[in-house]
Amino acid sequence: MRVVKKINNNVAICVDNNHHELVAFGNGIGFPKTPYELKDLSKIKRTFYGVNAAYFNLLNEIPEDIFEISAKIIDFAKVKIDKEFNPNIVFTLADHIHFAIERYKKNVKIKIPLEYDLQCFYENEMYVAEKAINYINKVKNIHLNKNEAVGIALHFINAENIQKDKQEEYDDDKIIASITEIIETDFNIQINRKGFNYSRFISHLHYLLKRKNEKMSLNSENKKLFESMKEEFKDSYECVSHIAEYFKTTLQWNPSEEELLYLMLHINRLCAREDCYR
């Protein structure tokens, strides 16, 4: 196996003997000067094929143990869920778990009232998600709420390789492009559309649009947090208000305060990395 690019000391981009690119995890494999030939394959702990390069930056943002947790959950999911998953799922799930833990530490609680529906229609996904929450809590010695399983189950459902209707996909892309333009105008910035931060942001917009299309709704316990964020992040709130107006006039949809809070959290996360608050 040829190591072609270092991500960090324990993660690297490699090419196997069949000339397929992969992401490899292994003790010290990124330490030597690249490129080089890795002869001791026992150093490799995990490999991931077909990962979009836009997600590589996650490898330096998220602790390695979160990737290992995510990988073990996906290993279990592949046994219990008879679906083909998008190859990026270990990375996107790791990002989801990392953000859930961040929210837990900040006591930000967002409840998605879909547990009964998912239990009925996505029994396997919910079963794996509930097991995942128990596993995360045990390994990290924390107490994520059981409702967090709903978010993980939705993550599985979105990662299942189901063909979307071309018109639906086109409409979503147009909506996301319009939202991006609103953010760029309000913050007077140019967002890097090829970067991971934007890829992560639009994945959350897809979740938001999926909830809208399927008449799902977030239900949070964060009325005070929403009011506090309106005051603390006035620019973000003004931007979200413009997006809400766009939804109202274009989609005839009035997003709830919970959805606006969710959107503010992710706009703040995007803007913190795009230097919107310079």
State residue 220's pLDDT score.
59
Tokens of 200: 């992560």
State residue 82's pLDDT score.
85
Average pLDDT, the chain: 86
Q: How far, in Å, are 85, 107, 233, 264, 268 from residue 230 at the CA level?
A: 38, 18, 6, 9, 12
Digit-coded pLDDT (tens) for 165-220:
545 555 888 999 999 999 999 999 889 888 778 888 887 888 788 778 777 666 55
State residue 151's pLDDT score.
86
Cβ–Cβ contacts within 10 Å for residue 200, how many? 23
Q: Are residues 153 and 76 in the same domain?
A: yes
Q: Are residues 250 and 194 in the same domain?
A: yes
Q: Are residues 170 and 219 in the same domain?
A: yes
State residue 163's pLDDT score.
45
pLDDT higher than threshold 50 for residue 149 = yes
Helix (H) or strand (E) holding 1: none
Digit-coded pLDDT (tens) for 33-67:
999 999 999 999 999 999 988 888 888 889 999 99
pLDDT higher than threshold 80 for residue 28 = yes
Contact 55, 196 (CB under 8 A): yes
In a domain, residue 103? The reply is yes
Q: Are residues 94 and 34 in the same domain?
A: no
In a domain, residue 56? The reply is no
Q: Which of 104, 124, 159 is the last residue of a domain?
A: 159
In a domain, residue 231? The reply is yes
Structural domains in the chain (count): 3
**Which of the pair, 21 or 230, is modelled with greater confidence?**
21
CATH number for the domain spanning 122: value is: 1.10.1790.10
Domain that holds residue 200: 166-274
In a domain, residue 7? The reply is yes
In a domain, residue 237? The reply is yes
Helix (H) or strand (E) holding 276: none
